[in-house]
Chains A and B, each alone.
Chain A
């Protein structure tokens, strides 16, 4: 499902963000990526979501070779994955329901189906009663749950999350991780970048360790 082979990423000024990264994640796996700030977690995340191009090597995700992907193919690749950010990235002038509906709207689904699916997803994350609220009027945890619902509504094969609990308190963080495990249990591959070592230890999942742009550990 996710395959990195000899991946290098160098930024201008000879900043080596990723060095010879090799990793393989199977369908339905739950994987944590941990490491200190500046180790390369976000760079890896950006490569996986096609927000940046690698310098050399090969990345294959959900059947797409990201080293050969064209600009026109990028939107279609992103419809096969779900992405969650630390800062939620919700549209502030749209309701939670409209935010969750967005991936289906851009795909051109029928509006009656979109609304039903969006309500179902909001219900699954426990927010159907706040469907018509704007993001600024709900808590951080609720915003992140909305972002997760948005990332899942088009039933992606892979869910990539960059520090999804970084802006949340411990109780809300546990809630979000429970939700992600539930998603994984339904067959979605979940890849979570985090620096919260305590949470990683508690969850007992496969954990990749990155340092100075290199994968230095793979604990199963």
Chain B
């Protein structure tokens, strides 16, 4: 591992000041370490300065005035998953968190860090391989290599790396707001605008500037009478990344779907909101046929490769099953 300077920030202001003063991309904020330390050991990340933000006062979960929830960026995944308000009002988020990683990793990983979790593409993690995300312009070894775990939606000629997070899929269905503080002030970005597609610059994954720090994640008050499910399909029953996952929120009123939010995991270059599937379900009866039509709509723009084409079918089955489970489970009231 390359050496670095470790700094301890005492406040979010200090953290972003340090970041603003650092040359581009030479500084990293360090929270749980489950992604950053791992990638530093592999030389994929080689920061010159690391700012330990673990002592910042961003570890609270608070109810907001509008009935929503404000989650500090340093709240650990396990604490978020087991929080009474999350279990009661956003069980989708709890399910997604508990389906990811191991108990040890969930005790370490933070909300902000999970938002910025890097891909598990083996070529991104191997400094000897070509990877446009890690070394722009070097090519993409995954196109013709090992890619059965990689994306079929949102890909480009440059990159097919999938976003590995479960939490981010649930937060996308829940339309979370990402609160950010930078050297020039604070802003809130809807999660649907937070991640960017790889296009011709796959090294850029979010709209965050180098001097910006995620401080909170905000959830709106839960929708009344909507049921939800997070369904994750993977190669083994536990402790594995998703091949396909679906986060669904469905409200049914007088036999018609009145509210629906759908996000897909394991198949997209970012947590994948599917407006096509939502449009296909809005106002129709919650039948398996309609679920299948929505699932087909969700993969209309899929671009499968040699070894991940199975995901086109798998994600449709996953979404149909998630919708069946959601509408047959008791709706959560606000």
Please say whether chains A and B are actual partners in one complex.
no
Residues of A within 8 A of B (CB): none
